[in-house]
Structure 1
Amino acid sequence: MSDDRRLEVLRAIVEDYVATQEPVGSRALVERHHLGVSSATIRNDMAVLEDEGLIHQPHTSAGRVPTDKGYRMFVDRLATVKALSPAERRAIETFLTGAVDLDDVVQRSVRILAQLTNQVAIVQYPTLTRSTVRHIEIVPLDHSRVLLVVITSSGRVEQRIVELAEAPSEELVSQLRTRIVGATVGERLPEASLRMADLMGSFAPADRPIVTSIVTTLTHVFSNERSDERIAVGGTANLARFGSDFDTAIRPVLETLEEQVVLLRLLGEATAGMHVSIGAETGNESLAGTAVVSTPYGADEQALATMGTLGPSRMDYPGTMASVGAVARYVGRLLADG
């Protein structure tokens, strides 16, 4: 029971410190949390927690505050994630469903996530190499030009105009459309490129120059777009709210947020569900005193990219995890329905 009680004491210290930004004393714990034991017992529990490196005393005669190790144990022992209010859920749904395209979805996701958490929001654009082909359209234009339209499972729409040596016949366009769609829809983009290449030999030699031009252009669309390397960041002004929460100045944190490779690595930790990195776990000295909460998102249960927030180690972890998870689910639903 003593171990369970100490975990309750740690939970209470984390929650009070997050709420008040003040070191937490034993008397306050007894008054606020009804732990069923005396102040002396709580003081003994706090001494054990301090010996274990889970809390520390910032200065003499002060209460205790959690360490990064303490926050880690708190997060690892979370039984439930705080539920969003109906108003918060409606705000997410209303704001995101107004998006007109993928770029708009990402930008709206960043804004709503920053607003919900009052932290810095980071959203990776859907990873194109993980996307599948949803539809391909070939539209004849005037003279010898055709318009190619590619729609992926990530909601991205790419258009290319191809100049051909001669105008294709309606029959050829129809055959090409049918065969390409049949070979590629539902395939991941790298595999779709290979299957299109295999198609070229199935057309008559006289048609192959036209087929080759169209297939080559589609292959370039699949392979050259590197949207998985794009990051959207929002809410950096929220850093000013954290002030003394950082062990370092805000400037190094801002400089780190400008390093796209660092952000991709931070988000990349969340490959199989919600992930929390606290302090040194971020692998970056400039982010001491911060924590990153991230999760994958995607369509049809397929992870296409990740999103998350960066804030002080003294953050509302259950609330932040709930907000990040909710926005990820809504974005995934949008991409699946798109």
Structure 2
Amino acid sequence: MADEDAHNGEDKRPTDIPALRWEEPPEGPVLVLLDQTRLPAEEVELVCTDASALVEAIRSLAVRGAPLLGIAGAYGVALAAVRGFEVAEAADALAGARPTAVNLAVGVRRARAAHQEALARTGDPRQAAAAALAAARALHREDAEASARMAAHGLALLDELLPAGGHRVLTHCNTGSLVSGGEGTAFAVALAAHRAGRLRRLWVDETRPLLQGARLTAYEAARNDMPYTLLTDNAAGSLFAAGEVDAVLIGADRIAADGSVANKVGSYPLAVLARYHHVPFIVVAPVTTVDGGTPDGASIEVEQRPGYEVTEVTAPQVPVTGAGGGIPVAPLGTQAYNPAFDVTPPELVTAIVTEEGAVSPVTTEALAELCARSRQVTIS
């Protein structure tokens, strides 16, 4: 990262400081990211001048969330092209930065293909770079539009499944404007319910070990004046048992062809709880998250994160002493199992909501039909 810029967070809404934006200062184009590792204590922006800085930001989770990673990947290719770096090398590094999130590779491929096509057609590196940037901007715009459509489809489904209204929704990890070109995926549905006066309570899982729920979803819920309550992940079962959850809304980092859903670790236990307690378990994700090349859940590569994320805790502006930059909470040398994601089988998923509509029941055939319909809409 070439630079940092701290912002006062008072009287701001989440959209006041976008999660990602392209800027062209006199010294050259840059990609500016809201550093999500520093939230909610402070709003700090990271300025990436090349693809390697963006790869670092992706791996450190300064920028995260499936849809936004796709956008970031596309802009990263454009950044390499505009600044005269090796585009193929940058694209490969970006696409491999986080293996489970399929949107990242999709965004990289889209910008790279635009660059290659323009270069072959014109032979002009500047026109090729402009084509890559145009592809990234188009993806950014399309994701914002998709977010709005997902919110509408998701709210309609909630109202259909829960006609009594007063929805009490449990969510996991963070799926709002911090992960999207728009207002998000699953969080956008809850936000739409809130604006319609039909959200009684948003239950927010802490989402250990990195607390994306506590740090980020609560941050977004508070700024949108939503009625929300934070809970530890292992308290969810008691909420279900007490009849306090009407639906579960989560996002997805990859959806296999058979409807298996890879999402932040902790999602699968929620699906099991939801099935036992007869509560709808709804996945909200753009069509680009559906990976037809991955046949089933067992074929999804699950990213393994460093053990220190479990054996240490970190918080902005707190002194640190651990090897990973955090405060040790386990004995020195403790081994940790730390998968970033788990996989929920399709039979536990009530519906998958996309910008093209909802799929329920979730089957290979239904997903394939939805994706084919999406391609037709895009082409037309």
| More helix by percentage | 1
For Structure 1 versus Structure 2, the TM-score category normalised by the shorter chain is under 0.3
**TM-score normalised by structure 2 residue count:** 0.22
Larger RCO, structure (CA 8 Å, separation 6 or more): 1
**TM-score normalised by structure 1 residue count:** 0.23
Q: Which has the larger radius of gyration?
A: 1
